[in-house]
A and B are shown apart, each in its own frame.
Chain A
Amino acid sequence: MNAPAIKPAASRWVLWAPLGLFALFVGVVMVALLRPADREIRSAMLGKPMPQFTLAPAAAGLPGLAHADLADGKVHLVNFFASWCVPCAVEAPQLAALKAAGVDVVGIAIRDRPEDLAVFLRRHGNPFSRIGADNDSRVQFEIGSSGVPESFVIDGKGVIRYQHIGVIQSRADIDAILSAVKEAGA
């Protein structure tokens, strides 16, 4: 092959540029990879008192929820949920187990309709002692929750002590919440 018009294709440093960019990429993902596995958005409200709110009852036969109800000297588990949220239905048995273990579970229903909620509770059981209707997600935002389902352990003074993002799914999730409840009560 007689290659005509021989001229360097590019100056030498340009040829090292791909390798440099690649090294940068490896560096960035290395940082991401070696960083602790905790990849969730923590609420800035942990350790702070609950915001002030009063929510109307969301389901017939159950009282609504206000911040004062949470500062009654007892530990509560506040569960943000909605009847339109499929993972929340998946979570129902675990909430029932927590209730059976003696935890007082209160619900905050996000942008829900009473009739949908009634079907949801009938179908999946009702672990809640109170359910407040957060129709415009105000409380959800104020407490720094990112979505449903999400659960918070609130101590007797109404201070947020623990946050669980997403579905309470495994035995380990339940145990973590139980120990947080125990700690908050101590």
Chain B
Amino acid sequence: MIATLGLAALWLAAALAVLQLVGAIVTLRRADNPLGAVVRSVAAVQGGLVAVSFACLIWVFLETDLSVKLVSENSHSLKPLLFKFAATWGNHEGSMLLWVSIMALGGACVALFERRLSEPAMLATLAAQAFVSIGFYAFLLIASNPFARLDPVPAEGRGLNPLLQDTGLAFHPPTLYIGYVGLSIAFSFAVGALITREVSPAFARAMRPWVLGAWIFLTLGIVAGSYWAYYTLGWGGWWFWDPVENASLMPWLAATALLHSVSVLAARNALRAWTVMLGVIAFSMSMVGTFLVRSGVLVSVHAFAVDPLRGQFILALLAINIGAALTVFALRAASISEGERFALASRETALVFNNVMLSGILGIVLVGTLYPLLAEAMGARVSVGPPYFNAASAIFAVPMLLVLCVGPLLGWRRDRLSRLTWKLWLPLAAAISAAAIALTQGVSVLSALGLGLGAALIPASMLPLVGRNLRTAKLPLWGMVTAHLGVGLALIGMASDSAFTREKLIAINVGQTVAVGPWQIKLARIAPVAGPNWTALEAGIEASYDGATPIKLAPQDRAFWAPPQQVNHSALSTRWNGQLYVVLGQQAEDGRWQLRLWWKPFVILIWLGGLMVALGGLLALLGRVASDLRRTIAIDKIAFRRKKQGR
């Protein structure tokens, strides 16, 4: 019943998307067409219907309705409630419904709240959004129906991959998806602007909050995903350059570049064609990433259900959407004027540099991810790993971060570098001393470079506040400072993790003590424990930092029974200066227990910095939305007064 309702709502929403597209196109051709008046409402209702459909899917998962094929394949009546909930999107069909839901809700939000765009630009944007949506509706309804039924109804479900039964998973994919799919709005804005030839600062100001919103979620999703992989996989690493990780990094890089270029367009009416291009690229990267990981063309540790037919379907969607957008770009971009000029020493130049470097990293990641495919097409088999990605992306990242120290201090249009020299002493001194101290500790050159750059970024990112009245400084400025500070902190975390981590893999008896870094680790006991759908051996660890009172840690070796799988559940202890990471392994023949221990100084800064980057985005977004609101209210007041006077 609920499943049928969900499916019906989905079909209706798809029909409305067609109406939205047709209505917008005919109105763009003849402005007095009556359909034009309903396009916004249609977009809003479409969003509502998809939300109903998604709520229905959550419902059937929560009550474990095993007559729904998707539920019986991915859930189990014994599973904790939170994971039944998370199982809704922990599979292909559910995640595609989530994708379409976010896309439709995004369209609805634009229809309801966007006030800066002209009517034709708005119609063109909603037409583009509907065009992209229709393809995904077709994919969902034809090739991945989440509400497909089973007859006869099975007695029990198959369960969810135990690795995915984690609180982190409940929120990681939706966050990431809001980011991926949120970029579809920037895509539609860009296509709409190309169609109506309205590439202007007003367009940039209209697009900016939507880009910011998607970018914040994307940042949070990547940070959460990285931390989740770090503590559930038990490998002690936080980034693996896996195709699925790259799939989330590529849209983020493009969106980050877009965020900066849109500021140039909004403030200075420059970088016009480039900004529109990035708007198209960012969401294209979301689609390419989705295709690469869902179609099975790339082999990844994130094993999604692979179905070649689905792969072909997504590839066709991809080719149509991106192909159409790039064709419109090629046809229209020549008629977009270049925009304002600027001098070499200016904020614009620094932002252009940022864009070129981010694009460079994007290219490196894209090529590295696709290279195995390309080589395979030529008959060779290769895999591309961290040595390539780390070194190649550093080529672009290091100059970018250097310019990041200076760029925010420069004025728009034309500035003198000599004006800044006195300000740059502090970052320079910080960089040199940090790198020098690191090198005397016998750290590798790349790590020392990272530490030095991070140390420089922390004071440098705060310099734009110097000489300002902090009480009147605008929120977007605080946002920029916070985000750049976050970049510096994350960089220090990364470099410190690679430079100072102490690792130990040992087998010890109960009662024995072992040292890792400044820690004394005692294996006090091993005891069996049971959870709702697993049993485990739990180690009682007493860890003492530098002779202090021991703290208790309890890593587990869990055995799930639906489906059967062994999972290491690591235990972490976080201090201000680092993190202790303990994994319990197998028992050896002689009764000793394997333990993997890591002491990772300042590793937590990686995610803390990442969160600050997202927080910076949030501050900027709040500032922009607040000023938009003030503007809208002011315009309404004027309109109201005029009306009164006219009467």
Q: Do A and B bind each other?
A: yes
B residues less than 8 Å from A119 (CB atoms): 588-589
Interface residues on B, range: 35 or more
Could you tell me the distance between the alpha carbons of A5 and B566 in the complex, rounded to whole angstroms? 66
**A5 and B330 contact, Cβ closer than 8 Å, known pairs A28-B374, A29-B291, A33-B295:** no
Interface residue from A12, A18, A22, A35 paired with B334 (Cβ < 8 Å) = A12
**Does A176 interact with chain B (Cβ within 8 Å)?**
no
**Does B166 interact with chain A (Cβ within 8 Å)?**
no
Interface residues on A, range: 20 to 34
**A9 and B589 contact, Cβ closer than 8 Å, known pairs A28-B373, A41-B381:** no
Q: Which of B201, B280, B376 has the most CB of A within 10 A?
A: B376
A residues less than 8 Å from B311 (CB atoms): 33
**A28 and B377 contact, Cβ closer than 8 Å, known pairs A8-B334, A86-B566, A119-B589:** yes
**A116 and B588 contact, Cβ closer than 8 Å, known pairs A12-B334, A19-B326:** yes
Q: Which residue of A lies closest to B299 (CB)?
A: A39
**Does A101 interact with chain B (Cβ within 8 Å)?**
no
B residues less than 8 Å from A7 (CB atoms): 337-338
Could you tell me the distance between the alpha carbons of A22 and B644 in the complex, rounded to whole angstroms? 55
B269-300 interface bits toward A, Cβ cutoff 8 Å, 1 = contact, 0 = none: 10011000100110010001001100101010
Q: Is the CB of B297 within 8 A of A29?
A: yes
Q: Is the CB of B589 within 8 A of A18?
A: no
Q: Is the CB of B337 within 8 A of A9?
A: yes
A:56-102 near B, CB below 8 Å: 86
Could you tell me the distance between the alpha carbons of A32 and B312 in the complex, rounded to whole angstroms? 11
**A9 and B315 contact, Cβ closer than 8 Å, known pairs A86-B566, A116-B589:** no
Q: Is the CB of B299 within 8 A of A115?
A: no
Distance from A91 Cβ to chain B, minimum over Cβ atoms (Å): 13
Distance from A74 Cβ to chain B, minimum over Cβ atoms (Å): 33
**Does A30 interact with chain B (Cβ within 8 Å)?**
yes
Could you tell me the distance between the alpha carbons of A170 and B333 in the complex, rounded to whole angstroms? 55
Q: Which residue of B lies closest to A21 (CB)?
A: B326
A residues less than 8 Å from B323 (CB atoms): 19, 22-23, 26
Could you tell me the distance between the alpha carbons of A5 and B340 in the complex, rounded to whole angstroms? 7
Could you tell me the distance between the alpha carbons of A34 and B588 in the complex, rounded to whole angstroms? 47
Q: Is the CB of B338 within 8 A of A9?
A: yes
**Does B590 interact with chain A (Cβ within 8 Å)?**
yes
B:355-379 near A, CB below 8 Å: 370, 373-374, 376-377
Q: Which of A23, A31, A33 has the most CB of B within 10 A?
A: A33
**Does A16 interact with chain B (Cβ within 8 Å)?**
yes
A residues less than 8 Å from B299 (CB atoms): 39
> What is the predominant secondary structure among interface residues of chain A facing chain B?
helix
Interface residue from A1, A25, A39, A118 paired with B202 (Cβ < 8 Å) = A1
B:234-280 near A, CB below 8 Å: 269, 272-273, 277, 280
Q: Which of B200, B272, B326 has the most CB of A within 10 A?
A: B326
**Does B344 interact with chain A (Cβ within 8 Å)?**
no
**Does B60 interact with chain A (Cβ within 8 Å)?**
no
A residues less than 8 Å from B326 (CB atoms): 18-19, 22
Could you tell me the distance between the alpha carbons of A121 and B505 in the complex, rounded to whole angstroms? 24
**A18 and B370 contact, Cβ closer than 8 Å, known pairs A8-B338, A33-B308, A116-B589:** no
Distance from B91 Cβ to chain A, minimum over Cβ atoms (Å): 20
Q: Which residue of A lies closest to B201 (CB)?
A: A1
**Does B336 interact with chain A (Cβ within 8 Å)?**
yes
B residues less than 8 Å from A86 (CB atoms): 566
Q: Which of A4, A12, A32, A119 has the most CB of B within 10 A?
A: A32
| A–B pairs, 15, beta carbons within 8 Å | A1-B198, A1-B200, A4-B340, A5-B338, A12-B334, A15-B330, A18-B277, A22-B322, A22-B326, A23-B323, A28-B374, A32-B377, A39-B299, A115-B588, A116-B589
Q: A26-B318, A115-B590 known; 20 other A-B pairs, CB under 8 Å?
A: A1-B200, A1-B202, A4-B337, A4-B340, A5-B337, A5-B340, A6-B337, A7-B338, A9-B336, A10-B334, A19-B323, A19-B329, A22-B326, A25-B288, A26-B319, A29-B315, A33-B311, A34-B312, A37-B308, A115-B588
**B interface list, Cβ under 8 A from A:** 198, 200-202, 269, 272-273, 277, 280-281, 284, 288, 291-292, 295, 297, 299, 308, 311-312, 315, 318-319, 322-323, 326-327, 329-330, 333-334, 336-341, 370, 373-374, 376-377, 381, 566, 588-590
